[in-house]
């Protein structure tokens, strides 16, 4: 364990050195002692991923195949985001460096008449299976994971006590947890249990009104920047969902 | 792995709420348990810790500046936590209360007036006057 920690510390120092070094230009790939490091540029990653998706979609023949392919890509990215956020607490020793919870997508938009609309769906709930559904968690202390594990390893996951609070994004099939992060994480790790998302947002309402470049959410009508994207992968997922929506609605 | 620096919103010129929160974390952390296991003695120790917390918290100065909730929270999202705390306090599951209280401190700004008044009143009614 100690060896592992010291390795991560070394890795972090090396990364910091590379970031602040004048020799390394932005977005350059540095190969040093077998470690590839590249500073993440959201705009570049986003355009790379979406261009690739568009290229491969064009090569496919049937509409059904294209839709399945977009789904396939979205699933891969969702898996990456889910596991990355889950594991972040394991690699992060200092509580001050943990990731803050973020709103992954916009919850409102402005239409062509400049009127603000929310994408909240009233009177809907969604049951999320922690073994199969894509749920994003923001753990912030390892102690709580340990304690939840002690309980959930031997007992069933209880949902009746409403101790988890989740948001579900319709159209993307993705959920975020704002409260009960650690118990949800353990449930996901043990692949058991389910939680109830009591707030549902329909992301499909954003498609005609909101664009993204991987770094910012942009108003489609006025080209004004609305807000920054917390993680470029959310922008890619948004764009893939938009592609799927367009494919499904071709006359 | 990319690491985001946590934005701390409690720092003001007069009171460093960050340090107070750290002391609360240290006070409650040894007692918290998600399933309230450990027996009656551990439960009563957790109750003592909650009383110490209450005595300190009621005398603290609230944040004079209004700070809106960030992330997935909204102005009244702390009500969920308060309802849960009320339930747990009535069931006398004090280790779980410590657990939820620490989560509340992490997610919400407990020195904002809107939360301070409600939490103070809840602890007074369900913890101090129920002994």
Q: Which residues are CB-contacts of B20 (< 8 A; sequence separation ≥ 6)?
A: B60, B111
The dihedral formed by the CA atoms of B41, B42, B47 and B53, expressed in degrees to the nearest 10: 140
Contacts of A165 in chain B (CB under 8 A): 80
Q: What confidence category does residue A234 fall into, taking pLDDT thresholds of 50, 70 and 90? A: very high
- Are A162 and B81 inside 8 Å of each other by CB? no
Cβ contact, residue pair B71, A96, below 8 Å: no
B108 touches chain A (CB under 8 A): no
Say whether pLDDT at A24 is over 60.
Answer: no
Q: How far apart are CA A217 and CA A204, in angstroms?
A: 15
Q: Write down the pLDDT at residue B64.
A: 82
Q: Residues B5-36: pLDDT tens digits? A: 444 555 444 567 888 888 999 999 999 888 88
Q: What confidence score (pLDDT) does residue A25 get? A: 45
Q: pLDDT value at position B1? A: 42
Are residues A103 and B103, on separate chains, in Cβ contact within 8 Å?
A: no
Place of tokens 């090569």: A59
CB-nearest partner of B71 from A91, A103, A162: A103
Contacts of A100 in chain B (CB under 8 A): 4, 6-7, 70-71
A209 pLDDT tier (thresholds 50, 70, 90): very high
CA A245 centroid distance within chain: 19
Query: What pLDDT does residue A97 have?
Result: 57
| Nearest one of B93, B19, B83 to B50, comparing CA atoms | B93
* CA closest to A181 among chain B residues: B103
Which pLDDT value is given to residue B19? 87
Which residue of A lies nearest to B31 if distances are taken between CA atoms?
A147
From the list A97, A101, A147, the residue facing B3 with the nearest CB is A97
pLDDT higher than 90, residue B106: no
Contacts of A183 in chain B (CB under 8 A): 34
Grade residue A29 by pLDDT with cuts at 50, 70 and 90: low
Task: State yes or no: pLDDT of A222 exceeds 90.
Answer: yes
Q: How many CA atoms lie within 13 A of A215 on its CB side?
A: 6
Residues in chain A: 251
Q: Is A164 on the interface with B (CB under 8 A)?
A: no
Residue A3's pLDDT is what? 44
Q: Verify whether the Cβ–Cβ distance A98 to B6 is below 8 Å.
A: yes
Task: Give the residue from A232, A216, A225, A211 showing the smallest Cα distance to A49.
Answer: A232
User: In the structure encoding, which two tokens stand for residue B25, read together?
Assistant: 């974390």
Any B CB within 8 A of A36 CB = no
Q: Which two tokens stand for residue B1?
A: 């792995």
The answer on pLDDT for A33 being more than 70 is: no
Could you report the per-residue pLDDT of A53-80, keeping only the tens digit for each? 899 888 998 999 999 999 999 999 999 9
What's the rounded mean pLDDT across residues B52-77?
84
Say if the Cβ atoms of A143 and B106 lie within 8 Å. no
Report the distance separating Cα A99 and Cα A90, nearest Å. Answer: 12
How distant is the Cα of B14 from the closest Cα of chain A, in angstroms?
A: 22
Residues 3-22, chain B: which have Cβ within 8 Å of A? 3-7
Higher pLDDT, A94 or B115: B115
Residue A153: the pLDDT is 84
pLDDT the model gives residue A250: 80
Helix locations, chain B, DSSP H: 17-28, 39-58, 78-90, 94-107, 113-123
Nearest to A54 by CA among A236, A202, A207: A236
Provide the percentage of residues in chain A whose pLDDT is more than 90: 39
* Whole-number Å distance between alpha carbons of B122 and B116: 10
User: What is the pLDDT at residue A36?
Assistant: 52
pTM for this one? 0.79
B23 close to A (CB below 8 A): no
Which residue is it, tokens 């977005």? A27
- Position A14 confidence tier, pLDDT thresholds 50, 70, 90: low
**In chain A, what residues touch B103 (CB-CB under 8 Å)?**
179
Contact B107 A178 (CB under 8 A): yes
- pLDDT for the residue numbered B12: 47
- The pairing of strands A194-202 and A210-212 is unpaired
Instruction: Supply the pLDDT for residue A19.
Output: 47
ipTM: 0.78
Residue B73 region by backbone torsions, left for phi larger than 0, else alpha for psi between -120 and 50, else beta = beta
CB contact under 8 A, B32 and A147: yes
A118 DSSP β-pair partners: A108
B103 interfaces chain A, CB cutoff of 8 Å: yes
pLDDT band at B107 (very low <50, low <70, confident <90, very high): confident
* Low-confidence winner among A113-127, B43-57, B59-73 (lowest mean pLDDT): B59-73
Most confident range (mean pLDDT) of A19-33, A101-115, B60-74 is: A101-115
Query: Which candidate from A40, A143, A151 shows the least CB-CB separation from B29?
Result: A143
- Spacing of C-alpha B50 from chain mean position: 9
Report the percent of chain A where pLDDT is more than 70.
Answer: 78
Under the banding of pLDDT at 50, 70 and 90, the label for residue A223 is very high
Q: Compute the average pLDDT of residues A70-98.
A: 83
3-state secondary structure of A187: helix
What is the per-residue pLDDT for A38?
Answer: 57
Name which of A69-78, A242-251, B48-57, B66-75 the model is least confident about. Answer: B66-75
Share of residues in chain B with pLDDT > 90 (%): 41
């Amino acid at each position: 364990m100690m060896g592992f920690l010291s390795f991560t510390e070394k890795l972090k120092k090396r990364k910091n050195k590379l970031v602040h070094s004048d020799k390394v230009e932005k977005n350059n790939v540095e190969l040093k002692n077998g470690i590839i490091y590249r500073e993440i540029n959201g705009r570049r990653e986003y355009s790379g991923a979406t261009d690739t998706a568009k290229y491969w979609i064009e090569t496919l023949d049937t509409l059904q195949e294209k839709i399945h392919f977009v789904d396939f890509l979205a699933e891969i990215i969702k898996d990456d985001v889910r596991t990355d956020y889950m594991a972040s607490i394991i690699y992060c020793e200092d509580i001050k460096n943990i990731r803050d919870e973020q709103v992954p997508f916009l919850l409102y938009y402005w239409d062509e008449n400049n009127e603000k609309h929310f994408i909240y769906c009233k009177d809907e709930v969604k049951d999320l299976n922690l073994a199969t559904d894509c749920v994003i968690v923001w753990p912030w202390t390892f102690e709580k994971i340990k304690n939840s594990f002690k309980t959930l390893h031997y007992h069933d996951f209880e949902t009746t006590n409403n101790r988890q609070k989740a948001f579900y994004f319709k159209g993307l099939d993705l959920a975020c947890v704002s409260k009960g992060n650690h118990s949800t994480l353990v449930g996901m790790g043990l692949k058991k249990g389910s939680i109830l998302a009591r707030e549902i947002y329909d992301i499909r309402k954003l498609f005609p009104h909101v664009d993204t470049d991987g770094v910012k959410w942009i108003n489609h009508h006025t080209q004004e920047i609305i807000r920054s994207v917390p993680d470029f992968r959310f922008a890619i997922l948004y764009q893939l969902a938009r592609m799927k929506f367009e494919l499904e609605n071709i006359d | 792995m990319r690491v985001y620096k946590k934005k701390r919103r409690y720092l003001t010129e007069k009171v460093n709420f960050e340090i107070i929160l750290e002391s609360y974390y240290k006070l409650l952390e040894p007692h918290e348990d998600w399933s309230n296991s450990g027996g009656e003695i551990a439960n009563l120790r957790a109750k003592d810790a909650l009383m110490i917390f209450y005595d300190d918290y009621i005398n603290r100065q609230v944040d004079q500046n209004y700070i809106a909730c960030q992330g997935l929270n909204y102005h009244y999202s702390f009500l969920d936590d308060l309802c849960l705390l009320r339930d747990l306090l009535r069931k006398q599951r004090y280790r779980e209360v410590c657990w939820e209280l620490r989560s509340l401190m992490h997610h919400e700004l407990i020195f904002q007036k809107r939360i301070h008044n409600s939490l103070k009143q809840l602890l007074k009614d369900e913890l101090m006057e129920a002994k």
